[in-house]
Structure 1
Amino acid sequence: MIYLILSILICILATVLWIMYKKNGNLQKLQQQILQEHEKQMNETAITYEEKEQLLLSNFDQIQYGAQKVHQKELEQYKNKSEIELNKLSTDYQKKLAQSEQNHLEKVNDLEEQIYGLKKQVRNTGEVATHQILREWKKSCIRRGVLKEEEFHIIPNIFIPNDSKKGERTNRQVDHLLLSRTGIYVLETKYWQGTVVHGLSKEDAGVFSFLLEGMKQKGNGQNDERTIVFVPKIIDDESGNIKKIIQIHSYGEPVSQAKSTAYVTKIYLADQTNMSNLYVTPVVYFGYPQKDEKMNGFLDFSNSDVQRLSTKQELESFLDRENQKEKRFTVVQLQQFKEIIENANYI
């Protein structure tokens, strides 16, 4: 009986174990299915998320690209507008500048015409004749190879600013300024008709000293020099008869004029160039009219150290001698002097 009961219990236990085994296997399958299903859902969710992410990124890129296009278009429009405004401003400025330059040029031309008119008024026949002699001498030297064009400058009829002791500015007229590598020369031209008696003092005049008494002259020394000119004239007297007379004229002292002009020129050039060792040589040229040579002459009693010349040949010989001296200035310096002197006429 006991064996039977044990057998029954064993059978029941085996059945229960088998049932539990079956259930456990089903549970594992179910768990496996649930895991697979969950994994499948997770994969689908991940794919959906990636797709949405890609879609969002794509939409963002499109929005950003669109914004860039709009910005670039606005930038180009602003750039084009700025270029148009800038071109307009530039055009207006160029017009105003051109008008300003035209107005300035007209004023300069007017000023040059005024200066030319003033120069023309003070220019005399003697200065023109002297200028022609100087030009011919320079051309001859260039042809002979003893002088180069840039080594000698002839500047006629100019005005040098001169500050007086009272602080007033005046202008000193220069008949001819010669700029050479051997020196700087002020040429004072006197084209007087008649017989010129230069450097006459009371001591030299002798019995004719009374002629000097009525002439106003600075200084009271016994040997103060005077220059007088005897000019022959033909007149009709009260009876209608033709008579020859001699008129006596005093036109000033050319040597002192030349010295003063040379000094003013030296001071001005020294101030403009900072060259303290400059020296300007004064020269007086009595170029009386050749056509009236019989009625003209030159007597020189002066003891002055200023060079005095009375004929074309003497002037040319003087220039030849000076041109053979030692060179003191360079071509560049001569050009600088020339520009300074020419600009001085517009101050």
Structure 2
Amino acid sequence: MTIVAGKIEPLKRLKETLHNHGIYRFNSIGDIKAFLQRYESEKKDIPATVKLKTDEEIKALEEASKKAIEIRDKNLFNKVLYYFKARKLIKNHAALVNNYEAEVSKRCTDSYRELEFIKETVEGLYSTIAGAIGENAVVSELQKLSDNHYLINDFSLTFDPPIFNKRENDRIYSIQIDHLLICKSGVFVLETKYWSAQSIENLDLRSPVEQIKRASFALFVFLNSDTNQGLVRHHWGSKKIPIRNIIVMTNKAPKSDFQHVKVLPLDKLNGYIKYFDEIFDETETKNIFNYLDDEAQQNT
């Protein structure tokens, strides 16, 4: 199984956004999907759930009150110490019992509002969730490869001074890559897009082809201008680390082919990666991974 480092960026961003809204019930995309599927049944169950929890609270207050009274009546010291505690517990218990129906109704209303708020917030984050679903699917697919493959998710680097692309007249100060796969046949730069047919035709959206070519150019210069990657020197000279560009379309895909970038559906991804000849041994592959992972860690 592929060795994986780092979490996918949309999932991290999604959890941060949810936490900023006070929503902590989701730990994965699966949790969110399950919530949306169970929303109506969870809403329907609110009255019974609230009533059960209220009954449990009444019982807990009653038991706590009895225990506090017993401790209070043991001696004079406890009478002073536990007087107000016992009084508060008795008061809370009585208030809940005497206003049972009104309290249950209020709690149901609050639960409906909270559930609706969570649903609206999640649905408002559709594009982020879709991106996370797509990237998670790519990670799951890449994990099916053997353990001499290394995957870095949400790989980013900054450059000082910037890397200059003379052909494009572009100074590149930083790059961010969805997935970086290192294996015996080289380095694969992978961008994941969960795009609809309408998004593919939308002229306002930035071209993922240009995006990945820009990141790949900077990474190629960065990797091949350094000699500290732990490669065994060939008797002909220093080895080059090849970089191949893949855009993985986990929904719809364009019919066109593009120069220097392979556009693939998810089910063709691993087959394409396995197509290339091995040029590094296991030690060299691991050294390249460690080098890139260390550089990425220093940039965080």
TM-score after normalising by structure 1: 0.41
Between 1 and 2, higher relative CO (CA 8 Å, sep ≥ 6) is seen in 2
